Every structure is written in C-alpha cells, then in structure tokens.
C-alpha cells in the first residue's frame, strides 16, 4: 500500500511535468534576441533543473532563478541560483534576453558580468548539472557560466575558490532573509593566504574554518562518504574545492543559510524531502579562536578551554569569568640565541590557523624541526599530510590560534617551548607516574576498608538526600568536590557590586530568590542571583545551577561566572542580559513592539538549538523541566539564552524516561504524562518548547482562556489550525514584515511539539532541522495535550498565579493515568 506521503510526492511530480510541458518555450536553450517572459521557463535536457522567474517567500519582487525541477518538497521550489539577486524586477512584466554579443539582460538591463570571449553565434543553455552556460551554437567556445557566480548554494561539479590568472573568486553568500535573496552577511570562501583552507565569514570576522587539506579531506571536517568525492586543487593558476556525486544516485547541495550555518542537504527519495546531512560549525569549539592564542578547546572536558602545557592564561581574571578569548602566554620566554629550546608533542584533531603558516613540500618531519629551531620566529611545526602520502611539513611563525580537539583523526603538532618548561613537564610526568604507582599500592592494600567506606558513603548520601535541608558547609564541600574550577566570589565583592543589594538594583524574581544587577571592579556588568533564606527547595536548586550550568557551554545557554557561599548566604553571578527575560517583552503590549517576526523567529531557533545541545550534544544529557518564557534571557543582540537549571535532571546515556512522585514545574508548560503520571523525558521538554513557541508566535500566555468555549492557547491554536485560519494566531502587534509561509510552518511545528502523546512529538534534533529547512515536509499534527479546561489533577496547579516561580505537586501511590 502506497503511503500518503509518497502518493503526494507522485502527484507533485505529475503536476510539475504538466507545468514544464505547458510553459517551457524551448527545451533548454535561449537563442539570440529571444525573450523568456515571466511565466515561461527553460528546462534542462533530462528535466533535472528549471530556470525562470520566481518570488521568494512573501516577497512580490521577481527574480530569475534556477531550481530543481522534480525535487520539490511540499510543492516548494528549491532555489540553487539567483541571477539578479541585487536587482529584482517589480511586477510580472520581466523578460530575460540574450543579445547578439552573448550578454544576458533583464528588461534590456545588463545584470551579470559580460563574457570575456567574443562569440559569433551565442546561445544560453541550461545544463543538467544546474549550470547555465553561454557558448557558441556549435559548442566550439564557452564564454560564461553561472557556476562562476554562485549565490548561496554549492552544487556537484561547481568550484569554490580562486582563478589566480583572472582574479575570479567563487564564494557562497547567504541570502539576506527567507524573503530576500540579496547578499547577506555570511560568506563561505577559499582563503588562499598561507596554506589554503575554507573560511566561513560573518562580515569581516572569521566564524569557522575547514583547516588545511590533508591528502583526502580538510582536517577540520573529517572524512566524507564515498558518494561525496572531494577534489582539491592548489597550484599557480587555481585554488579551489569541488565535490562530485556523478555516477551515484546521491543528489546533494551545500548551502550557507541566513543563520550562518554551512549545511549539506541530501535528497531522500523515499520520503520526498531534503535531509540535513551535516552542518558546521557544530559546537562552541568549532567557533573560530574560541580559546584565543595558545588556548585549546575540547568539547569533551570542562572547562572547554585550557592552556597548552608551558603556557598560562594571559588574563586570569577573564578566564575565571569563563572568557578565554584573550588566550594564553608563555611561562618562560624562548631562548633562540643559545639554541636551548625544544619541542612538546601534542595530539590534535585540527591543525592551528594556517593563514600565516609556511608549507615546505620538500622537507621531512625531522628536517622541518631542525629548520624551526634555527628560525627564531618559529612557534611550531607539523607534517603537512597525516595519511603518509609523500613528504612535506608546515611551520608556524606566529601565535598558534584556533587549537581544538574533536572526534576526527588526530594529528601531531610539535610546539616550541623553553628548556625550563620542557624540564618542568618531564619532571611533572615522572612525579605523576610515581604518585600513580603509590596510589595503586595503597588502594590495593586498603581495598577492604575503601569498599566499606564507599558503602557507608552511599548509605549516608541517600539519607542526606531525603532530608529537606542540606547544611551550607556540606553544600560548599559538594561543589568543591565536583572540581568545577568555578570562581568563588567574595561576599564583600558582591555587596559592593550591588550597592549592598539595593532595591533599585533588583532585576526580577527568580526561581528561588531575587536577581540584582551588579557591576564588578573592572566595570563588567553581572546578574547576581541571591537565594532566599526562607527557601529550603532553593538549596537543591542552587547546587543544580552550579553543577549543571558550569559544565555546559553553548551560545544559547546563560553563562555562570561564579558563586558565593558565606554563612547562610548562597549567591550565583551570571553574565548580564541587557534585554532581560523574554516574558518581560513578550507579554508587555508596549515592549512587544520591539519583537518583529524576524526577531521572534531568531529567538525560536536559538532556544531550539540550546535545547538540542542539552538533550544530545553536551557532555551531560540534561532535561530542563522548567522551560518557559521567564527562563529565556536576551542579550544585547536579542540572542536567547536558556537559564534557571534549578529543576534540571541529568539523564544517563541509555536512560530514556523516568518517573517521580514529586512533580515540579510551571503551570501551562508541563506535559500531560508528567503532570498526571510523573513520567518525564526529553519529550517533556519538547512539549514545553512547543508551548513556548506558540506563545512567541501569538504573544499570549498559555494560562488564560483565549476563546469560547474556554480554550487555552493550545486549544485555540488547534481550533484555528483545523479551521485553516492559522494567521489569526499571530500576534496582531507584529507588523506586516513577516513570511506567511514561515509563520504557518512555525505554528505547524509548535503543534507537533505539544501533541498529547509523548511518542508522537518530534525529538529536538528533528525540530531544529524543520526550522532550518523550509523544504522539509511536516506530518499532520494530532490533538494537543491540555487544549481546553484542565482535568482535576491538573487543576492542582491552575490556581498558582506567580508565573516566575515553580509549582510542586506530589503524586500519591493511588494516582492513576488518564
């Protein structure tokens, strides 16, 4: 039996075959002085690609573009090239022409570079690889091709890089927005300075780099499947990267999207959609120079940034506040004159920045080390090819930048150190070996006693966990035992920073106390969270905040800078968020005017990425359990940061769900299976995210009746969805600068997240793909949970009116499910 999704895909194909037959003016070729009018199309010989006029998103402007003919998920065009991205046509009276000298014009206006080769009988032809070429009719000369002027998409057979003979550069540049294909701020280019590598730019700042070519791939992106054959060429004429899927059944495209991500999509024929095969940057450590010069980033340890051995933080105070961008400096100055320096071997997956490095193709590794010692500027060296093919080495003559560990194949880098630091490292290693041996001897001799102590400690710890109050001394000891290396701030420092906790400094009320705005000695603004002395629940929350947030680092999670425990005072210091909490803007009719649709969508995507990191990509697997608008903070660029981990729970690697007798959370955001049965999992957070997403779209809380008969936000959204009035859900204070398709898609995704049954809700990995890929088809949503008047059990929390605190429900043994 054919599935509805496959059947819909077949219908789409038949429809577009009819469109091709009806509207194409010729097979694949435009002849001199022939016009292609708006509404007409060219189709490549095998009907792989189509060229014609289109309008992106909600825009009414018209552009000439190339898109896949048959690969159209949900009937949407997948645009791979735009000709006039800087010069749109108003109205539908546009026409594309090829004049007698081989130049393409739109409405008689030249919009692309003129061919440099003279043609006598030019034609423009759309090829089956998606390339539009201008050539002689007899194929004797080619004068111009669209592959030399890419927009945001890299196709199989297309070069990314430089023609050094002509100065032609082929870069990918993101669209400005979903509705506007004009050049955005993100550019993917081949950097041919030093040793060539691919760089992702945000304006003039580097965001990510591929690393140098190692013989089979670029060092920072790892191996690609055989279906994606990478080709890299670097000589005096050209420097470029190209991939090829010719001869395989794989259809792939690489896109630089509007959010600054490099994504490779692969067409999944079985389901008729694009699958996001890989994306970069994947983690904080892949962000360029995360840990500064001589700093190493490792996502698998905490803190993620550390200094190379023989180096120390350049600014200890900034490092203590989790800002490692200043990097590290040498403990001992090099002594090149007396030739006493040596090398420390470190194993990295990614070579340092190579834009200023020197490549020697005719030197062995030993010869490279000797040359490095003779050069007083040399800081490190490494083999140029880590797969053992041929010889060659790399020498760095500047600071080592963008050092990182990852899961890719490791490569040795030999870092230059002064003799004193080398001796110190050697002595330390020897002492560590002796210490380890002594520890082993002691452990084995005292094994019975140790086992007894462990059993006693486990028993003692369980007893303490059942107590309602944990002593402050024990709390501080627990934090230190976790070896978090988190800055312990002085009570006097925080009193001074907040003017003795002056009432005028209060920013708001958190889960277990007041939050103050503070300013440290160097002028750094911080948010100071002071535990209420009357809160016993707050002790556990406090420890959760310290142990979880301190071990997690992501651009969409709030950053913890330090803590203070003195007497009965327990305080946390966070990075200060100038735009406050999301609920303070979203539900204030005056302030919400600052939340246009573009900003709301940006916030939704950021929260989704932060939650995906917690569920899947972080060292710990965290379920937040209290995701809500007041726990989303906004920085000065309106980037969302998930905060308040007091109720968070750490899940084991193979743990899927768990059950609790004490349900904690916030009214309106908790999933049905959690409220009614005490069962929580990652799908509980997905439900909360769906509620939050619909609140961001509508500007309405999910705790007030929005329509008759007594429908809460989820029920109202469900009702409007079924009535095909989805846009009625959009906050009326949002101006007209929004994408209708994007709003409808976001409501669709929100409803998928709040479905009543946990197994029907998508994982956050799927949600992120749905938000980032407008082409991906979405399943029909099912009935949401708690869409109308809540059950008696849920009414246990419905009377609580303080949106900024959590609620607690205790489930009895007799309580049953729905």
- How many whole angstroms separate alpha carbon 643 and alpha carbon 592? 21
Which residues, given as ranges, of the chain have pLDDT below 70?
1-26, 74, 222-227, 246-247, 270-271, 386-391, 406-410, 426-486, 510-512, 533-541, 544, 652-664, 703-710, 775, 787-818
Per the CB < 8 A criterion, the answer to whether 42 and 50 are in contact is: yes
Give me the residue label for tokens 């959760």. 544
* Dihedral-angle region of residue 292 (phi above 0 means left; psi in -120 to 50 means alpha; beta otherwise): left
Which CATH superfamily hosts domain 582-810?
Answer: Transferase(Phosphotransferase) domain 1 (1.10.510.10)
Query: Each residue of 66-83: pLDDT tens digit?
Result: 999 988 876 789 999 999
Those residues with Cβ within 8 angstroms of residue 519's Cβ, 6 or more apart along the chain or in another chain: 497, 525, 526
Q: Which helix (H) or strand (E) holds 465?
A: helix 447-465
DSSP code, position 351: P
- How many whole angstroms separate alpha carbon 381 and alpha carbon 375? 11
- How many whole angstroms separate alpha carbon 326 and alpha carbon 324? 5
By C-alpha distance, which of 696, 687, 653, 664 is closest to 787? 687
Dihedral sign, Cα of residue 419, residue 422, residue 428, residue 432: negative
User: What is the pLDDT at residue 34?
Assistant: 86
Neighbouring C-beta atoms of residue 764, cutoff 10 Å: 25
Neighbouring C-beta atoms of residue 100, cutoff 10 Å: 11
Tokens at 192, concatenated: 């041919």
Tokens at 681, concatenated: 């999992």
Cis peptide before 453 (omega within 30 of 0): no
| Helices (H), ranges, 701-808 | 713-722, 740-753, 764-772, 795-798
Main-chain dihedrals φ then ψ at residue 518, nearest 5 degrees = -135, 165
| Helices (H), ranges, 172-327 | 316-320
| Location of each CATH 3.30.200.20 domain in the chain | 472-575
Order of strands across the sheet that contains 342-348: 342-348, 411-417, 380-383, 393-396, 358-360
Three-state helix/strand/coil letters over 11-72: HHHHHHHHHHHHHEEECCEECCCCEEECCCEEECCCCCEEEEEECCCCCCEEEEEEEECCCC
- How many whole angstroms separate alpha carbon 259 and alpha carbon 174? 9
User: What is the pLDDT at residue 705?
Assistant: 52
- How many whole angstroms separate alpha carbon 93 and alpha carbon 78? 23
Per the CB < 8 A criterion, the answer to whether 609 and 768 are in contact is: yes
Give me the residue label for tokens 């794989």. 250
Give me the residue label for tokens 């710990």. 620
Cis peptide before 472 (omega within 30 of 0): no
DSSP string, 589-654: TTGGGG--HHHHHHHHHHHHHHHHIIIIISSSEEE-S---GGGEEE-TT--EEE---TT-EEEPTT
Q: How far is Cα of residue 437 from the mean position of the Cα atoms in its chain?
A: 44
By C-alpha distance, which of 369, 379, 453, 376 is closest to 415? 379
Tokens at 78, concatenated: 């997948």
The reply to whether 795 belongs to the active site is no
Pairing label, strands 560-566, 525-531: unpaired
Which CATH superfamily hosts domain 472-575?
Answer: Phosphorylase Kinase; domain 1 (3.30.200.20)
- How many whole angstroms separate alpha carbon 795 and alpha carbon 675? 10
Query: Each residue of 676-685: pLDDT tens digit?
Result: 877 888 899 9
DSSP code, position 781: P
By C-alpha distance, which of 311, 282, 278, 316 is closest to 294? 311
Neighbouring C-beta atoms of residue 431, cutoff 10 Å: 10
By C-alpha distance, which of 281, 277, 265, 156 is closest to 211? 281
Percentage of the chain with pLDDT > 70? Answer: 78
DSSP string, 108-176: TEE-SPPPSS--SSEEEEE-TTS-EEEEETTSS-EEEEGGGS--SEEETT--EEEETTTTEEE-EEEEE
Tokens at 189, concatenated: 């280019």
Q: Which helix (H) or strand (E) holds 6?
A: helix 4-23
Q: What is the pTM of this model?
A: 0.61
Query: Each residue of 258-297: pLDDT tens digit?
Result: 888 898 888 877 667 787 777 888 778 888 999 999 999 9
- How many whole angstroms separate alpha carbon 331 and alpha carbon 270? 59
DSSP string, 320-344: HTT--TT-EEESS---TTTT--EEE
Per the CB < 8 A criterion, the answer to whether 424 and 334 are in contact is: no
By C-alpha distance, which of 580, 730, 589 is closest to 640? 580
- How many whole angstroms separate alpha carbon 29 and alpha carbon 127? 9
| Helices (H), ranges, 466-596 | 472-481, 491-497, 537-544, 582-586
Pairing label, strands 41-43, 24-26: parallel
Q: Which helix (H) or strand (E) holds 303?
A: none
DSSP code, position 514: E
Pairing label, strands 35-37, 95-98: antiparallel
CATH for 1-148? Answer: 2.90.10.10
Three-state secondary-structure class, residue 721: helix
Tally of residues, the chain: 818
User: What is the pLDDT at residue 538?
Assistant: 57
CA dihedral 79, 84, 87, 93 (to 10 degrees): -80
Order of strands across the sheet that contains 560-566: 506-509, 513-519, 525-531, 569-575, 560-566
Order of strands across the sheet that contains 305-307: 305-307, 295-297, 403-404
Those residues with Cβ within 8 angstroms of residue 605's Cβ, 6 or more apart along the chain or in another chain: 259, 768, 771, 772
By C-alpha distance, which of 567, 538, 604 is closest to 805? 538
User: What is the pLDDT at residue 412?
Assistant: 86
User: What is the pLDDT at residue 114?
Assistant: 75
- How many whole angstroms separate alpha carbon 163 and alpha carbon 150? 14
The domain 150-282 having CATH identifier 2.90.10: the answer here is: yes
Those residues with Cβ within 8 angstroms of residue 720's Cβ, 6 or more apart along the chain or in another chain: 726, 728, 729
DSSP code, position 447: H
User: What is the pLDDT at residue 610?
Assistant: 92
Query: Each residue of 160-214: pLDDT tens digit?
Result: 999 999 899 999 999 998 889 999 999 999 998 888 999 999 999 999 999 888 7
With b for 16 or more beta-carbon neighbours within 10 A and e for fewer, the 606-631 pattern comes to bbbbbbbbbbebbeebbbbbbbbbbb
DSSP code, position 572: E
Give me the residue label for tokens 């059993």. 455
Tokens at 760, concatenated: 């029907």
Tokens at 659, concatenated: 């059950």
Catalytic option among 626, 644, 685, 775 = 626
- How many whole angstroms separate alpha carbon 609 and alpha carbon 711? 30
User: What is the pLDDT at residue 175?
Assistant: 95
| Location of each CATH 1.10.510.10 domain in the chain | 582-810
User: What is the pLDDT at residue 5?
Assistant: 45
- How many whole angstroms separate alpha carbon 114 and alpha carbon 106? 13
- How many whole angstroms separate alpha carbon 211 and alpha carbon 733? 46
DSSP code, position 397: -
């Amino acid at each position: 039996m054919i599935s509805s999704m496959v059947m819909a895909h077949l219908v789409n194909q038949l429809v577009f075959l009819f469109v091709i037959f009806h509207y194409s003016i010729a097979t694949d070729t435009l002849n001199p002085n022939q016009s292609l009018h708006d509404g007409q199309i060219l189709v490549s010989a095998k009907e792989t690609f189509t060229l014609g006029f289109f309008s992106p998103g909600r825009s009414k402007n018209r552009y000439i573009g190339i898109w896949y003919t048959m690969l159209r998920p949900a009937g949407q065009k997948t645009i791979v090239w735009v000709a006039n991205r800087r010069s749109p046509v108003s109205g539908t009276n546009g026409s594309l022409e090829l004049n007698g000298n081989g130049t393409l014009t739109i409405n008689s206006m030249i919009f692309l570079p003129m061919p440099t080769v003279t043609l006598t009988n030019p034609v423009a032809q759309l090829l089956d690889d998606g390339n539009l070429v201008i050539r002689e009719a007899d194929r004797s000369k080619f004068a111009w091709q669209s592959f030399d002027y890419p927009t945001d998409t890299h196709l199989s057979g297309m070069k990314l890089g430089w023609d050094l003979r002509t100065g032609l550069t082929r870069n990918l540049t993101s669209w400005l927005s979903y509705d506007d294909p004009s050049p955005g701020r993100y550019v993917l280019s081949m950097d041919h300075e030093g040793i060539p590598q691919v760089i992702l730019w945000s304006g003039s700042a580097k965001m990510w780099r591929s690393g140098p070519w190692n013989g089979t791939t670029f060092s920072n992106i790892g191996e690609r499947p055989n279906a994606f054959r990478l080709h890299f060429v670097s000589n005096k004429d050209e420097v470029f990267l190209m991939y090829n899927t010719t001869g395989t059944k794989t259809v792939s495209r690489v896109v630089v999207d509007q959010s600054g991500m490099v994504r490779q999509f692969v067409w999944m024929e079985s389901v008729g959609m694009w699958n996001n095969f890989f994306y970069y940057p994947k983690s904080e450590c892949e962000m360029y120079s995360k840990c500064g010069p001589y700093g190493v980033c490792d996502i698998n340890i905490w803190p993620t940034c550390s200094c190379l051995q023989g180096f120390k933080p350049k600014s200890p105070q900034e490092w203590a506040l989790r800002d490692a961008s200043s990097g590290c400096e040498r403990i001992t100055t090099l002594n090149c004159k007396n030739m006493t320096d040596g090398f420390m071997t470190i194993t990295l997956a990614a070579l340092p920045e190579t834009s200023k490095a020197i490549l020697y193709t005719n030197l062995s590794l030993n010869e490279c080390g000797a040359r490095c010692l003779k050069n007083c500027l040399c800081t490190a060296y490494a083999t140029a090819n880590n797969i053992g093919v041929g010889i060659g080495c790399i020498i760095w003559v500047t600071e080592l930048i963008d050092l990182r560990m990852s899961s890719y194949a490791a490569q040795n880098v030999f870092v230059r150190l002064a003799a004193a630091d080398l001796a110190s490292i050697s002595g330390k290693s020897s002492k560590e070996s002796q210490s380890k041996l002594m520890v082993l001897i002691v452990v084995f001799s005292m094994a019975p006693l140790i086992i007894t102590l462990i059993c006693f400690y486990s028993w003692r710890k369980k007893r303490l966990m059942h107590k309602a109050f944990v002593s402050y001394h024990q709390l501080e000891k627990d934090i230190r035992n976790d070896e978090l290396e988190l800055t312990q701030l002085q009570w006097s420092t925080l009193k001074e920073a907040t003017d003795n906790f002056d009432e005028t400094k209060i920013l708001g009320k958190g889960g277990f106390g007041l939050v103050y705005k503070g300013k440290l000695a160097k002028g750094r603004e911080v948010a100071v969270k002071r535990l209420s002395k009357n809160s016993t629940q707050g002790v556990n929350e406090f420890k959760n905040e310290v142990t979880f947030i301190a071990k997690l680092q992501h651009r969409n999670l709030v950053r913890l800078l330090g803590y203070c425990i003195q007497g009965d005072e327990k305080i946390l210091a966070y990075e200060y968020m100038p735009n406050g909490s999301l609920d303070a803007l979203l539900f204030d009719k005056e302030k919400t005017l600052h939340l246009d649709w573009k900003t709301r969508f940006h916030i939704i995507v950021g929260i989704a990425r932060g939650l995906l990191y917690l569920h899947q990509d972080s060292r710990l697997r965290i379920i937040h359990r209290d995701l809500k608008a007041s726990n989303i903070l906004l920085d000065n660029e309106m980037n969302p940061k998930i905060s308040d981990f007091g109720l968070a729970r750490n899940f084991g690697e193979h743990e899927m769900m768990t059950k609790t007798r004490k349900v904690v959370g916030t009214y309106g955001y908790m999933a049905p299976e959690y409220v009614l049965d005490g069962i929580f999992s990652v799908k509980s957070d997905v439900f909360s995210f769906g509620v939050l997403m619909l609140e961001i779209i509508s500007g309405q809380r999910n705790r007030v009746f929005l329509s008759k008969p007594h429908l809460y936000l989820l029920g109202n959204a469900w009702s409007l969805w079924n009535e095909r009035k989805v846009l009625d859900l959009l906050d009326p204070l949002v101006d007209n600068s929004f994408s209708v398709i994007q709003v409808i898609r976001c409501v669709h995704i929100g409803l998928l997240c709040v479905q009543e049954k946990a197994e029907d809700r998508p994982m956050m990995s799927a949600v992120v793909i749905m938000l980032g890929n407008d082409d991906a088809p979405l399943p029909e949503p099912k009935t949401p949970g708690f869409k109308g008047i809540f059950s008696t059990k849920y009414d246990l929390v419905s009377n609580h009116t303080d949106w900024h605190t959590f609620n607690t429900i205790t489930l009895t043994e007799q309580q049953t499910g729905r």
